[in-house]
Amino acid sequence: MIVRPRPHWIRLIFVRRGSLVRRILSQQIFVFLLSCAVVLVHGQLFHWKVTLTSAPFSLMGVALAIFLGFRINASYDRYWEARKFWGAVLVEGRNLARHALSLTGGGVDARPFVLGLIGFATAMRNQLRGRPRQEGLAGLLPAELVERIGQARFAPALVLLWLAQWLRSVREAGHLSPMLAQHMEQSLDALSAALGGCERIANTPLPFTYSVILHRSSYFYCMLLPFGLVDTIGWMTPLVVAFVSYTFFALEALSDEIEEPFGTMPNDLALDAIVAGIDASLREMIGDPLPPVPVPDAEFILN
């Protein structure tokens, strides 16, 4: 995801990065050239006049817009649900770090536990994005655990297991009351629920037929639209069709992007920034030097 400030409204008109212009440019050019050809032959196809008016396109456009709205809503629900899960990781991580630092008895070094919470968020990001399992875990988890994670399929679950074992060892040593240990276990359960929710979103895409129907309907509509407008607006047909097709194609492309919120496309979740925020928040609690703050993308102007 692009992390950047919101530009001025004039610059926002010409922004390219994140606007999906590059992704749908070939479709736009095709529809524009098709519209120009329709204007040149004045709506004739092999010496047969295609007698279409704007009336059916008005009805079809409303239906297609509603269908696109449902598609966008379904994709955005997945996107926002994923963001709420990551918000839960931040909140429960802070809660666990606070409990470990303030509620354990004297002589307990809670630093490995807090770093392990950062390691959980890092391992969760790596799994969801298909990165190497050990990436970014050096110094956060014990070396033997990091080595084991390199061969694991569900690395975040192993980190949760290690965190639970740390709690058990502290409780058995008498530095944490059973009631408080149970309360902290509930926070670990919440982290596990957030992980499972993100895995559900990542492993269960929207039905493929849903996307096929929308894709076909949008393209057929935009390819037939010039025949319905050429007798009414003439040489303005290519411009109007290009504008209408941009709306339909961009909304379809956007729904495809945010349907999989854990990817690296411009409109996906900013997982690196989220993990960096978790890292900074928990390190501040244990007095460690803070990592650099992610800065907005300075290359947003006309990009």
Instruction: Give the model's pLDDT for residue 99.
Output: 92
Does a structural domain hold residue 303?
no
pLDDT tens digits for 16-38? 666 677 888 888 899 999 889 88
Query: How many structural domains is the chain composed of?
Result: 1
Q: Name the pTM for this structure.
A: 0.83
Does a structural domain hold residue 294?
no
Q: What share of the chain is helix, strand, coil (3-state, %, to 5)?
A: 70, 0, 30
Query: Is residue 51 predicted with pLDDT exceeding 80?
Result: no
pLDDT tens digits for 261-294? 998 887 888 899 999 999 999 999 999 888 777 6
Does a structural domain hold residue 4?
no
Does a structural domain hold residue 42?
yes
Does a structural domain hold residue 56?
yes
Q: Which long-range contacts (CB under 8 A, 24 or more apart) does 239-245 make?
A: 241/31, 241/32, 241/35, 242/28, 242/31, 242/32, 242/35, 244/61, 245/27, 245/28, 245/31
* Helix axes of 237-259 and 54-102: crossing angle, nearest 10 degrees: 30
Does a structural domain hold residue 299?
no
The alpha carbon of residue 9 and the mean position of all alpha carbons in its chain are separated, in whole angstroms, by: 24
- Structural domain for 128, as ranges: 9-285
Does a structural domain hold residue 236?
yes
pLDDT tens digits for 160-199? 999 999 999 999 988 888 888 899 999 999 999 999 999 9
Task: For residues 202-229, give the mean pLDDT.
Answer: 86
Q: For the chain, what percent of residues have pLDDT higher than 70?
A: 86
Does a structural domain hold residue 215?
yes
